[in-house]
Amino acid sequence: MLATCLRAAGLTLALGLFAGTVTAKTIEVKNSSVPLRVTTVAEGLSNPWSLAFLPDGRMLVTERSGTMRIVTAQGEKGPALSGLPDIVSRGQGGLLDVVLAPDFATSKRIYFSYSEPDPDNSKANSTAVAHAVLNGDKLENVTRIFSQQPKYESTAHFGSRLVWNSDGTLFVTLGDRYGAMQDAQTLDNHHGKVIRINADGSVPADNPYVNTAKALPEIWSIGHRNVQGAALHPTTGKLWTGEHGPQGGDELNIDEAGKNYGWPIITYGENYGGGKIGIGTEKDGMEQPVYKWVPSIATAGFIFYTGDKFPQWKGNLLMTSLRAATLARLTLDGDKVVDEERLLQKEVGERLRHIVQGPDGYIYLVSDESNGKIFRLEPAK
């Protein structure tokens, strides 16, 4: 009875009961520019990494442990989908991003990224991208279309956000693999790069380095550390990316063809525990970030909000973060960030991995926890 009364009053329930602590599924957030209601749609997911809405309103969810499953709008978790390739689920590696093909309504095809093992070296791996046909609880006709080269002995910095360009090409963000950070400045490897490929994995003829000797033709931009967020600007159509710095120096960039974003030559971060990296924060021929975070918040997925449920936030960039356990709302004036508001640190307090604008116009968040959750944000009435 007490719990019912508290829920009716719109308060967070956190009552210690004989069997443990029970927490209400809905939280009211008053101290924000827009009063919010945060509802836990689903929980019990194993470090979920990405979410993509299916046309019928169900959600396709990846778990870093190597599982993909469908979650209903009511939060019911379906069985693990069969048919996934071999995946290295260690450290930051595992099953990562997932997006629907632009023609999913007819093709039923999905695209996903994952940490791919090296058949000749059990310690080596790299980011790969595959597509498959979704058929009930099965993935069929699984086809790998990209494999980051060379493979490397590391369990960190896989990057891995997938973004469809307006021309039907696919952007794939990649990490520097942590121990190979100098590779981010050379064109003979995929480490620390953003790449652009066609839907079948072939190379677009207008990629910036297709006619450059000894350059890998998939490369779009270079000088990245670990890009785990990316989205197209709804007005300009340009690719924006969010990049993990080391100890400080997270970056938001406008990612353009043939540009060099500096890592590890220039950075606003420093080595873990202190110590300079590179030559400083600027160098001719290297791009400056649109926005940066010092100290780091560990940026992850982001969106440009275009819906009508939060009219005050229309055109804002909403960035999830891991270390700071916050949702950063950035107000833009053209290509400049003019204000930042941080949300949900106290009310949710979980590592936020990904964000999606749902077909209903509400905002959905995924928490990267062993008991990972899907949250829905709505304006509080």
Q: Give the model's confidence band at 16: pLDDT under 50 very low, under 70 low, under 90 confident, else very high.
A: very low
Q: Which two tokens stand for residue 209?
A: 């380095």
Span 88-98, mean pLDDT?
A: 98
Is residue 56 domain-resident?
yes
Catalytic residues: 157
Number of domains, the chain = 1
CA distance 68 to 81: 6
**What is the pLDDT, as a whole number, of residue 81?**
98
Q: Give the model's confidence band at 25: pLDDT under 50 very low, under 70 low, under 90 confident, else very high.
A: confident
Is residue 62 domain-resident?
yes
Span 68-75, mean pLDDT?
A: 96
pLDDT at 2 over 80: no
What percent of the chain has a predicted confidence (pLDDT) above 70? 94
Domain boundaries, position 87: 46-155
**What is the pLDDT, as a whole number, of residue 31?**
84
Q: Which two tokens stand for residue 148?
A: 């980051």
CA distance 37 to 97: 27
Q: What is the pLDDT of residues 285-336, one digit of tens each?
A: 999 999 999 999 999 999 999 999 999 999 999 999 999 999 999 999 999 9
pLDDT at 130 over 50: yes
Question: Where is pLDDT greater, at 172 or 16?
Answer: 172
Is residue 67 domain-resident?
yes
In sequence order, what E strands does 247-298 have? 250-255, 291-293
- Residue pair 300/366 in contact by the 8 Å Cβ criterion: no
**What is the pLDDT, as a whole number, of residue 381?**
78
Span 251-265, mean pLDDT?
A: 98
**What is the pLDDT, as a whole number, of residue 10?**
37
pLDDT at 238 over 70: yes
- On the question of a cis peptide bond just before residue 35, with omega within 30 degrees of 0, the verdict is no
Query: Please, what's the b/e burial string for 240-252 (b: 16 or more CB within 10 A of its CB; e: otherwise)?
Result: bbbbbbbebbbbb
What is the residue-averaged pLDDT of the chain?
93
Is residue 342 domain-resident?
no
CA distance 253 to 221: 11
**What is the pLDDT, as a whole number, of residue 73?**
94
Q: Give the model's confidence band at 8: pLDDT under 50 very low, under 70 low, under 90 confident, else very high.
A: very low
Is residue 327 domain-resident?
no
Q: Give the model's confidence band at 12: pLDDT under 50 very low, under 70 low, under 90 confident, else very high.
A: very low
Q: How many CB atoms lie within 10 A of CB 376?
A: 19
Is residue 249 domain-resident?
no
CA distance 24 to 213: 60
Residue with tokens 């960190």: 156
Q: What is the pLDDT of residues 142-160, one digit of tens each?
A: 999 999 999 999 999 999 9
Is residue 142 domain-resident?
yes
Span 104-130, mean pLDDT?
A: 98
CA distance 301 to 231: 9
Residue type, 152: Y
CA distance 66 to 64: 5
**What is the pLDDT, as a whole number, of residue 264?**
98
Q: What is the CATH number of the domain that holds 136?
A: 2.40.10.500
HEC string for 68-116: EEEECCCCCECCCCECCCCCCCCCCCCEEEEEECCCHHHHCEEEEEEEE
**What is the pLDDT, as a whole number, of residue 362?**
98
Span 225-237, mean pLDDT?
A: 98
Cα dihedral across residues 119, 122, 127, 131: positive or negative: positive
Nearest to 260 by CA among 219, 229, 231: 219
Run of H or E residues at 2: helix 2-8
> pTM above the 0.85 mark?
yes
**What is the pLDDT, as a whole number, of residue 92?**
97
Span 195-208, mean pLDDT?
A: 98
